[in-house]
Amino acid sequence: MKFDTKVVRASSKPDKTTGSVVPPIYQTATYVLEEVGKDKGFDYTRAANPSRQLLEEHLATIEGAKYGVCFSSGMSAVDSVLKLLKAGDHVVCSDDVYGGVSRHFNQVLVHYNLEFTYVNSSNPDEVKGAIKSNTKLLWIETPTNPLLKITDLNEMNKIAKDNNILFGVDATFSTPVFLRPLEFGADLVMHSTTKYLSGHNQIIGGSIHTSNKEIFDKMKFIQKTIGAVPSPFDCFLTMLGLRTLHLRMQRHNENALAVAEFLESHSKVSRVAFPGLESDPGHKIAKEQMSGFSGMISFELNGGIPAGKHLMNNVELCFLAESLGAVETMITHPATMTHAEVPREERLARGFEDGLVRLSVGIEDPDDLIADLEKAFEKV
């Protein structure tokens, strides 16, 4: 079965009872046992639910994984991965990560005696230099949020295997349409299903995928024990969105390239980050390991924060909003929104300027998006 067909049909079968093409929503907390000690595969929805199981199987299929485990948010998925570690363990992490991840690591998990080192994962030598005797996890985002830096996953896999450490990848920005990290040796892949996978700003969710049975068993135990699971209705909505993922991602990619080329040529823009541009530092590696570049762009304006604020306050089609990966185009000021709790000196040290603008390019007509930005530029 080819990839596009998997996206639509992977685990989707007509309902056995009614023949319904759309899977039913199993909105229940508990299940009646046939007799003592004998159930039909389900006993309590925190442990398992048919709607969630269908989504987990579907996502695993398109990720190229044997197993999938779904959570109530992307952050609960990340947190569950970190529960594979123990006090005293060390994590090497991409320095340009989602602000919620660094906040969780630096303000919560450090109190449980976990240690974190942040590195520019685009530089394998810097990653190697950060490995210590107690390093147990290499956590990579590619492309990163919000600078869209690209990490060579083959290089990361070699470092992880040479040092016998767990290798995890947050591939939220790329989706399985454009990148499947397990093919490059990753032990597990994480997605915020809130973003592209569901694609319509309708749910909060996360998922972990692996082909390692030991990791899967531990993740299922953590899922059941902690209970940070998505509702059956959220799973249903995610499944509906998922079926058009391949089509949406192609349009996101095409639109983002058109908008990025427009921005790169604009006199009021000082820098554009988009892996699909030949001028982008990560373009070569991105082209080698990805089949597309997704729909995220970051850029800086001449004039810094004031210019960026004027732009964001004067767009009309682009929604000024948190989040990304939906059919609507959304514009964000990371320094005061998604990454507000990242210390300024930390941001500046990794090239994350105060005036950076992040654009999640939707699937509208690209000419309309460019016209909207051009009109806003006139007021900058």
Is residue 220 annotated as part of the catalytic site, yes or no? no
Closest among 65, 67, 110, 71 to 89, alpha carbons compared: 110
User: Are the beta carbons of 117 and 93 closer than 8 angstroms?
Assistant: yes
For 283, residues 6+ apart whose C-beta sits below 8 A from its C-beta are 150, 275, 276, 277
Long-range contacts of 219-222 (CB under 8 A, 24+ apart): 219/67, 219/69, 219/80, 219/81, 219/84, 219/188, 220/69, 222/80, 222/83, 222/84
Catalytic residue among 26, 31, 67, 98: 98
Is residue 180 annotated as part of the catalytic site, yes or no? no
**What are the Cα distances from residue 178, in Å, to 8, 295, 359?**
16, 11, 19
Closest among 25, 378, 6 to 231, alpha carbons compared: 25
Q: Give the dihedral sign, CA 22/70/92/181.
A: negative
Catalytic residue among 96, 152, 170, 234: 170
Question: How far is Cα 60 from Cα 7, in angstroms, rounded to an integer?
Answer: 11
Catalytic residue among 4, 44, 46, 354: 46
User: Are the beta carbons of 317 and 364 closer than 8 angstroms?
Assistant: yes
User: Are the beta carbons of 235 and 51 closer than 8 angstroms?
Assistant: yes
Q: What are phi and psi of 145, to 5 degrees?
A: -120, 110
Is residue 213 annotated as part of the catalytic site, yes or no? no
Tell me the Ramachandran region of residue 164: left when phi exceeds 0, alpha when psi lies from -120 to 50, beta otherwise.
Answer: left
Q: Angle at the Cα of 180 (from 116 to 361), degrees rounded to 5?
A: 85
User: Are the beta carbons of 363 and 317 closer than 8 angstroms?
Assistant: no
Alpha-carbon radius of gyration of the chain: 21
Active site residues: 46, 98, 170, 195
